[in-house]
A and B are shown apart, each in its own frame.
Chain A
Amino acid sequence: MPFREVNSKMVEAAVSPGQKLFSQRGAMLAYRGDVSFTPNIQGGQGGVMSMIGRRVAGEATPLMTVEGSGTVMFGHGGHHIQVIQLSGDTLCVEADRLLAFDGTLTQGTLFLGAQGGVMGMVRGQVTGQGLFTTTLKGHGAVAVMAHGGVIELPITPGRPVHVDPQAYVAHHGDVRNKLSTALGWRDMVGRGSGEAFQLELSGSGAVYVQASEEKL
């Protein structure tokens, strides 16, 4: 079920019987119709084992299940919301940026060390992503929050995109990312340009970048 953008900071989703929707707890602003909100202790899908996985990974955000028939409006903290349509590919996003997503999507956690070994773990620490990130896979829509507006930059083979780790929001598609450092003697003596670390994303897909270097 698609999300409809009411304005840049609110989305509306239609729920119908048999279709589930997950959203961040407390992100509901208004609803029409007969809709129930149940807190989801497991923090998403996949049973108890996934729950434990998320707890361990620190990617457990309080989620709630939205069911029933009607329309629900979501928004949180005045943040800008970007709706991302997934068609079979995987979206990587920080759990606390997730506002709402389709119940049909498969949720998982990704160990950053699995992408590039030790460098992947270093990357997680530098970017503030931690060691784990949340993945969503399947067909459906995801509403992601960002500070300021979001631009989408396509990534095509041979044209890698470099992103400031603090401005990185999410990416989808078949994308490899690695931390590229441009550390020089200037950074050592405190005269750096403030752009010492960059995420280099290559492959094919898209990356979402926010117009701000503030975390949520």
Chain B
Amino acid sequence: MAVHFAKPLSGSGSSLRTLFRPRVCRYLPSVAMFRLQGSKVLAVDMTGDSVKAKNGSMVAYEGQMAFKKMTGGGEGLRGMVTRRLTGEQMTVMEVRGQGTCYFADRASEINLVRLTGDTLHVEAGNLLCTDGGLRTGTTFTGLRGASQGTGLFTTTVEGTGQVAMMSDGPAVVLRVTPQYPLSVDPGAYIAHQGNLRQDLQSGVTFRTFLGEGGGEAFQIRFEGDGLVYVQPSERTTAGGDL
């Protein structure tokens, strides 16, 4: 992965450009280059190609850029209707141009994922920026979504290219293998990729009904082979209070 962790975000660095330019390897000249500037700002080098990003997440750019809102997430009419119905709406803009564009959103930490033909499942709200060549869609998640407080559906990203996801605090990547299944708090889950089966586990006992629950009434259990991204913070979920 051509990701350079440049320097702590708060430091001053007037020589950033000179520091970066020579080191960025350009194997694929027409593909946008994602890199992190610190941990909260995503810099994308573009040479006439395009990326899809969350609406309004641009903080600065150099060069020539054009911003265009993609109606209904840029998946055509059918995609738009699906998104409306599933509640996985995202407002996405297409950024096209030449130069470097910087993205950030509410000071959340940014994680870069490189996809090589596989599928990433991520909540629409956690998606910051994707390569223009990646396809997005929606899938049904079943009961898990309801327990997560994010709805019954989730967004999928597939194809080959880079994805930038946001998390509240730096995310950890946990590997799941057939021998080692993983259980995750629904509020801390942000994304997963690979060949994973998921089901909802409930730890609801009679104590929960007495108001003496441990606060961990539900977990998502992942089995199979793949990666799960977990953030060090919990969204408010239906199961969180139990």
Question: Chain A residues in contact with chain B, CB under 8 A?
Answer: 5, 8, 80-85, 147-154, 159-164, 167, 182, 186, 191-195, 206-207, 209-214
What 0/1 pattern do residues 93 to 131 of B give for CB contact below 8 A with A?
110000000101111000000000000000000000000
Of the listed stretches B57-65, B200-208, B218-226, chain A binds B57-65
Q: Which of A80, A160, A191, A213 contacts B106 (CB 8 A)?
A: A213
- Provide 26 A-B residue pairs closer than 8 Å at the C-beta atoms, listed in order of the A residue: A5-B11, A80-B10, A84-B12, A148-B40, A149-B40, A149-B41, A153-B60, A153-B62, A160-B62, A161-B61, A162-B62, A164-B59, A167-B59, A191-B71, A193-B68, A194-B55, A194-B56, A209-B41, A210-B59, A210-B107, A211-B38, A211-B104, A211-B107, A212-B40, A213-B57, A213-B105
Query: Which chain A residue shows the least CB distance to B99?
Result: A159
The answer to whether B16 touches A162, judged by C-beta atoms less than 8 angstroms apart, is no
Residue of A151, A163, A213 near B38 (CB, 8 A) is A151
Q: Which residues of B contact A (CB under 8 A)?
A: 8-14, 16-17, 37-41, 55-63, 65-69, 71, 91, 93-94, 102, 104-107
A213 to B41, CA, bound (A): 12
The residues of B that contact A194 with a CB separation of less than 8 Å are 55-57, 67, 69, 91, 93
Please determine whether A161 and B60 come into contact, CB atoms closer than 8 angstroms: yes
Do B56 and A212 touch across chains, with their CB atoms under 8 A apart? no
Contact B69–A150 (Cβ < 8 Å): no
Nearest-neighbour CB distance to chain B for A98, whole angstroms, equals 17
The answer to whether B65 touches A162 (Cβ under 8 A) is yes
Tell me, in angstroms, the Cα distance from A167 to B105 when the chains sit together. 10
Assess the B69–A193 pair: CB atoms within 8 A.
yes
A192 to chain B: closest CB distance in Å? Answer: 6
Asked if B106 contacts A214 (CB within 8 A), the reply is: yes
Cβ contact within 8 Å between A163 and B14: no
Bound state CA distance, A211 and B38, in angstroms?
10
Query: Which residues in B have their C-beta under 8 angstroms from that of A193?
Result: 55-56, 67-69, 93-94
Nearest CB on B from A153, distance (A): 6
Q: Of B40, B67, B107, which contacts A195 at CB under 8 A?
A: B67
Shortest distance from the beta carbon of A166 to any chain B beta carbon, whole Å: 8
| Beyond known contacts A194-B93, A211-B41: 13 more, CB 8 A cutoff | A8-B8, A81-B10, A149-B40, A151-B9, A151-B60, A153-B60, A162-B60, A162-B65, A182-B67, A193-B93, A211-B38, A212-B104, A213-B59
Chain A residues whose C-beta falls within 8 Å of the C-beta of B9 in the assembled complex: 8, 80, 149-151, 211
Q: Which residues of B contact A182 (CB under 8 A)?
A: 66-67
Question: In the complex, what residue of chain A is closest to B92 when comparing beta carbons?
Answer: A193
**Alpha-carbon distance between A186 and B25 when the two chains are bound, in angstroms:** 37
Cβ-closest chain A residue relative to B91: A194
Closest partner residue, chain A, to B94 (CB atom): A193
Q: Which residues of A contact B38 (CB under 8 A)?
A: 149, 151, 211
| Chain B, Cβ-Cβ closest to A79 | B107
A206 touches B55 (CB 8 A): no
Q: How far is the CA of A11 from the CA of B59 in the complex (A)?
A: 25
Contacts of A167 in B (CB 8 A): 59-60, 104
- Chain A residues lying within 8 Å of B13, measured Cβ to Cβ, are 152
CB distance from B89 to the nearest CB of A (A): 14
The chain A residue sitting closest to B9, CB to CB, is: A149
Inter-chain contacts of A164 with B (CB < 8 A): 56, 58-60
- Output the nearest chain B residue to A149 by Cβ-Cβ distance: B9
Please, how many angstroms separate the alpha-carbon atoms of A116 and B160 in the complex? 46
Between B10, B41, B61, the greatest number of chain A beta carbons within 10 A of the residue's beta carbon is seen for: B10
Specify which of A161, A167, A195, A211 lies most central, judged by the most chain B CB atoms within 10 Å of its CB.
A211
Chain A neighbourhood of B8, CB < 8 A: 8
User: Shortest distance in angstroms between A88's beta carbon and chain B's nearest beta carbon?
Assistant: 15
Q: Which residues on the A side are within 8 Å of B102 (C-beta)?
A: 151, 153, 209
Instruction: Give Cα A10–Cα B137 distance, bound, in whole angstroms.
Output: 43
